[in-house]
Amino acid sequence: MQIVILENAEAVAAHGAKVFIDKVNAAPASVLGLATGSTPVALYRKLIEANQSGQVSFKDTRSFNLDEYLGLSGDHPQSYRHFMQEQLFKHIDIDMNNTFVPPGDAANPLTACEEYDASIANAGGIDLQLLGIGRNGHIGFNEPSSGLTSRTRVKTLTPATIEDNARFFEADEFQPHLSITMGIGTIMDSKKVVLLATGESKATAIHATVEGPLSASCPASALQMHKNALLIIDEAAAQKLAHKEFYKHIERENQKLMASLKSA
As a whole number of angstroms, the longest Cα–Cα distance in the chain is 63
Residue 261, sorted as left (phi over 0), alpha (psi -120 to 50) or beta, turns out to be: alpha
* 3-state SS, residue 252: helix
| Each residue's pLDDT tens digit, 191-227 | 999 999 999 999 999 999 999 999 999 999 999 999 9
Per mean pLDDT, which range of 9-18, 113-122, 171-180, 232-241 is the poorest? 171-180
- 169: pLDDT strictly greater than 90: no
Catalytic residues: 67, 136, 138, 143
Domain hosting 31: range is 2-263
Please spell the DSSP secondary structure of 51-114, one letter per residue: HHTTS---TT-EEEESEEETT--TTSTTSHHHHHHHHTGGGS---GGGEE---TT-SSHHHHHH
82-96 pLDDT, tens per residue? 999 999 999 999 999
pLDDT digits (tens, 9 = 90+) for 219-234: 999 999 999 999 999 9
Rounded to whole angstroms, how far apart are CA atoms 47 and 172?
Answer: 35
Q: Give the chain's domain count.
A: 1
Q: What is the CATH number of the domain that holds 189?
A: 3.40.50.1360
